[in-house]
Each structure stands twice: as C-alpha cells, then as structure tokens.
Amino acid sequence: MPTVTAQFLRDLVSEGIAASISMHRASREANADDYVRPEDEEPTDDEIDDFLFSNPLLDGETVSHLTDPGLLGFFASTAVASDDWLFEFREHIASWADTQEWQAADLVFYHAIDHVNPPTPDREVWTPNSALVPAAVFLANSPSHLLLADKLLREGKLLSELGWRQFEHLIAELLETHGWNVTLMQGSRDGGIDVLAERVDPILGALKAIWQAKKYSTNRKVQLSHLRELSAVVERDRVTKGIIVTTSTFTRGAIEWVQRDTYRLDAKDGQYVERWVRRRLYET
C-alpha cells in the first residue's frame, strides 16, 4: 500500500475546495461583520481545518491526524493507505465541497476539536480507519452520497436539497447494494437515461432496468408526459423495465399510466427513497 503524509492529504483537501472557497468566503462575509477575508486566493490552513472538522464523511482518527501537526509537523505524520481508500478520500472531499453547508458557511463541527488519538513520536505511522469502533464502521465505510442523504434526513431536511448529480449517484449506490451492476449515464445525451442497472437472476435470467432520476422540489410533480417518454425509451431499447424515481411526487395521470403497465414501468416517490436510504444504512 502507498505511504502518504498528512501534508499530502491536506494538499488534496486544498485542491478539492479551491473551486468553492470564494463562495464560502463570500457567505462568511455576509454572515459575520467581524470576518476578515484572507488575501491569499488559496485555502488557508484554518479553512482546511474547518472543512475537515465539519465533514461528516470522514472518520475521526483521520481528521485528528490531518488537523494536529504535533511537534514535527504534518510532513512527519505518515499514513499507510490503500488506493481504494485514497479514491474514497477524494470522493468524500469533493462531495462535501459541493454541499450547501460548506458553500454557505453554515457549518457544524462533527469532529471534536480536542483531537482523538493525536499523533505522538512513537506513533508516526497510522492506517486510516484502523481505530474505528465497530458501531461506526458501517457508516464510515458507506458510500458518500448515502451519508449525505442520511445527514439531510437526520436534520429534518429534504432529499431535494441534494444536487441533481448527487441524487443520481445516490440511486446508483442504492441499486448497487441490491446486487445490480450499475452504470451512471450522462443524462440527456443517453436518451434521458440516468442510471442503467443490470444483473442476472438465477430464475429469470438477464435483467436490464433503466432509471430516470427527477430531483424536484416538493411543489413540482412528475408529469404524465415524463412517463410517456419513459415508455418510449423502454420500447426503443427493449429493456426489462423503466423506473422514474423522484424527490417529489407524481400527478394522478402519471400514476394511472404506470398502473396500466406495471410489468414494464414503475414510479418511486420521495417518501419511498427516504425509506430506502434508512433501510440501507440501519437495517441489518
């Protein structure tokens, strides 16, 4: 496994929040009269710390090592991390940098500022996630968009507050937990297909389903025209089933259209997705 320093990981964080730092600073200026905007365009050490402390997708030990330089500095603190862990770390940084909480500077520190397991001279090498307690392992290793959805629901917010691409990722991750081989598509350039899900059933054989994700506010319903368009795509591509999933609800006409063709169409509303997220994260 590759060996990396805490400073290297902090640099990854700096790169990951560079595009959003200007918006974050503007929000802080608007919310606090005593805020002094940094002159440097690059994220400061304090801003990196704030981002790490407020990021619920990261485990506590990693945050501790990345925010406490110890006596010898971040370059002396070394981690043994797998390629998969580094990939997930980058994903967790990118996902949190894209949230409203970070960009609007509406932060809650999910990690204690008094560090857990701080680096010491006889503990310079650590393995990320190695000290997680069993109860935290499942959530800490869950896909990032599931964690973001769970965070919204626990705060009494709506899944419609996810970005449209985040919602597509959420559906893809949920399907993967059910054994589907999932391909995240490019939306309009793929005939309106957002997620392609395939698997081989031991009895029915090869199955292929297409999913359209409609990230709508609660006052905007999925219309009958959307189901008609989906029916045409199902017929054109000769797939097993087409499903529209939304953060909102469906009009009566859309529901009736699905009911007339239940073997090839389905409709999942926002309440269904909320239950799906909770079952995935908390049911054993």
pLDDT tens digits for 64-84?
Answer: 889 888 766 787 677 778 888
Distance CA 222, CA 8 (A): 45
What CATH class does 159-282 carry?
alpha beta
Q: How far apart are the first and last CA of the chain?
A: 31
Distance CA 85, CA 71 (A): 26
More confident site: 211 or 281: 211
Q: What DSSP character marks residue 209?
A: E
pTM for the complete prediction?
0.56
Digit-coded pLDDT (tens) for 19-45: 999 999 999 999 888 889 998 899 999
- Of 12-21, 147-156, 257-266, 270-279, the poorest mean pLDDT is in 147-156
Average pLDDT, integer, range 111-137: 44
Give, to the nearest 10 degrees, the angle between helix 270-282 and helix 144-154: 110
DSSP H or E segment with residue 232? helix 224-237
pLDDT bracket for residue 252 (50, 70, 90): very high
Q: Where are the domains of the chain?
A: 3-141, 159-282
Question: 3-state DSSP call for residue 263?
Answer: coil
Q: Are 202 and 231 spatial neighbours (Cβ–Cβ below 8 Å)?
A: no
